[in-house]
């Protein structure tokens, strides 16, 4: 009776590794189906965590066939568009190749036994432990009995309240995501500017982060220090594309025309993504019937560690469950490793949303390049 809440990379990685060790597991997800919504942009999977998890899942070779090593290209520019830093990956460099989130999710989904994931299952609450069993209460009125509930359900987890009273806090920084499609034909100058990987710039108050995706697509994240309800305060909804664009052009008035086109030439509406984080450090008293992984356990600013840590959490938990006959001992051993690791990373990334706005060139660990 192992139940995972959330069919994101963390939950699916955990399920896959459990099944490889002959352990039955069910995954519940609130989406109506695997194609109910866009899974987001691209992410890098690092050799030290995300790739390790894929090796334990037996999916590393398939990952390499989908991954884009060229996506490791990184460029930092100033507000005029002049290059401050440029890293081009060497042949065979595989430290953190990119893969689209949708491709990663499909890779994991297709590796699971049929029927593992139950769609349209929105968790409402986790009941108290009774004789070592938790009741899962779903929005459709159904229930499930679970000897172990694994919360892999993200920032606003419905599992987390069973072990922790912590709630995510707004960082003061928000993203607007803009999509560009068919860029080689429709936006060739932007495609050349962004390159095969990512291009970023900031002035201390606002920033742009443009990232190549597969299929001749680019996603741009427009980063601002704003109040949590800034759109509503301006009398706007997220669908008011032209009015939002006008405000953005005013905010980025001093930036180069090419950089401003990353704001104005997008295909379709913007997507709002306010940045939240859990208190630092976040932990909980051990409970043999509930545990957390990924953002449910340690939500941090988006600095390239979230999915990687979620997948490493998932691998560690699944391997611990396979190695221990007693569920409580397995969970305790997992948390003994995961909680200090995540606390260290939380401290390292605390205030990291502000880092995204810094005009200084970050230390990418590649030495001086331009």
Instruction: Read off the pLDDT of residues 101-133 as tens digits, 9 standing for 90 and up.
Output: 999 999 999 999 999 999 999 999 999 999 999
Domain extent, residue 202, equals: 170-276
Residues 194 and 282 reside in one and the same domain:
no
User: Considering the domain boundaries, does residue 362 fall inside one?
Assistant: no
Compute the Cα dihedral for 187, 188, 189, 192 and give only its sign: positive
CATH code assigned at 239: 3.30.9.60
User: Considering the domain boundaries, does residue 84 fall inside one?
Assistant: no
**Cis (ω within 30 of 0) for the bond into 281?**
yes
Instruction: Read off the pLDDT of residues 238-285 as tens digits, 9 standing for 90 and up.
Output: 999 999 999 999 999 999 999 999 999 999 899 999 999 999 999 999
Q: From CA 85, how far away is CA 364, in angstroms rounded?
A: 9
Residues 235 and 286 reside in one and the same domain:
no
Please, what is the Cα angle at 103 between 101 and 109, to 5 degrees?
Answer: 100
* Sheet with strand 123-126: strands edge to edge: 123-126, 134-138, 143-146
Question: Could you list the pLDDT tens digit for every one of the 370 residues in the chain?
Answer: 899 999 999 999 999 999 999 999 999 999 998 888 777 789 999 999 999 999 999 999 999 999 999 999 999 999 999 999 999 999 889 999 999 999 999 999 999 999 999 999 999 999 999 999 999 999 999 999 999 999 999 999 999 999 999 999 999 999 999 999 999 999 999 999 999 999 999 999 999 999 999 999 999 999 999 999 999 999 999 999 999 999 999 999 999 999 999 999 999 899 999 999 999 999 999 999 999 999 999 999 988 889 999 999 999 999 999 999 999 999 999 999 999 999 999 999 888 778 889 887 665 454 444 4
Residues 21 and 139 reside in one and the same domain:
yes
Residues 6+ apart with CB under 8 A from 214: 42, 68, 100, 103
Residues 163 and 301 reside in one and the same domain:
yes
Burial label, 312 (beta-carbon count in 10 A; 0-12, 13-18, 19+): buried
Strand 143-146, strand 134-138: pairing? antiparallel
Compute the Cα dihedral for 25, 31, 35, 37 and give only its sign: negative
For 293, the token pair is: 């992984």
Helix count and strand count (H, E) for the chain: 13, 17
Please name which of 240, 221, 360 lies closest in space to residue 304, comparing C-alpha atoms: 221
User: Considering the domain boundaries, does residue 80 fall inside one?
Assistant: no
For 229, the token pair is: 């309800």
User: Considering the domain boundaries, does residue 324 fall inside one?
Assistant: yes
What's the pTM value of the predicted model, to 2 decimals?
0.94
């Amino acid at each position: 009776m192992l139940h995972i809440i959330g069919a994101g990379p963390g939950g699916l990685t955990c399920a896959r590794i459990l099944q490889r060790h002959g352990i039955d597991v069910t995954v519940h997800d609130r989406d109506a189906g695997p194609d109910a919504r866009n899974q987001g942009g691209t992410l890098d999977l690092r050799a030290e965590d995300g790739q390790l998890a894929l090796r334990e899942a037996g999916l590393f070779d398939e990952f390499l066939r989908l991954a884009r090593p060229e996506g490791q290209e990184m460029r930092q520019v100033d507000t005029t568009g002049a290059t401050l830093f440029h890293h081009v990956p060497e042949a065979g460099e595989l430290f953190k190749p990119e893969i689209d989130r949708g491709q990663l999710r499909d890779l994991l989904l297709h590796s699971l036994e049929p029927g593992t994931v139950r769609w349209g299952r929105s968790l409402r609450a986790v009941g108290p432990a009774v004789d070592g069993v938790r009741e899962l209460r779903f929005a459709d009125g159904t229930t499930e009995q679970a000897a172990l509930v694994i919360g892999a359900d993200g920032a606003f987890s419905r599992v987390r309240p069973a072990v922790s009273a912590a709630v995510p806090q707004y960082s003061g920084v928000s993203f607007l995501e803009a999509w560009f499609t068919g860029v080689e034909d429709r936006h060739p100058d932007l495609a050349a500017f962004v390159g095969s990987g990512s291009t970023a710039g900031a002035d201390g108050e606002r920033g742009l982060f443009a990232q190549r995706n597969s299929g001749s697509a680019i996603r741009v994240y427009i980063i601002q220090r704003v109040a949590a309800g800034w759109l509503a305060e301006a009398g706007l909804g997220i669908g008011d594309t032209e009015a939002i664009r006008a405000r953005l052009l005013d905010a980025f008035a001093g930036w180069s025309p090419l950089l401003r086109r990353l704001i104005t030439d997008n295909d379709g509406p913007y997507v709002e993504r306010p940045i939240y984080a859990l208190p630092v450090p976040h932990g909980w008293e051990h409970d043999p019937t509930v545990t957390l992984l990924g953002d449910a356990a340690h939500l941090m600013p988006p600095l390239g560690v979230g999915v990687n840590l979620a997948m490493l959490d998932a691998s560690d938990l699944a391997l611990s469950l396979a190695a221990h006959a007693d569920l409580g001992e397995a969970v305790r051993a997992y948390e003994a490793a995961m909680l200090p690791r995540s606390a260290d990373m939380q401290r390292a990334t605390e205030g990291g949303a502000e880092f995204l706005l810094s005009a200084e060139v970050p230390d990418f660990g590649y030495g001086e390049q331009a």
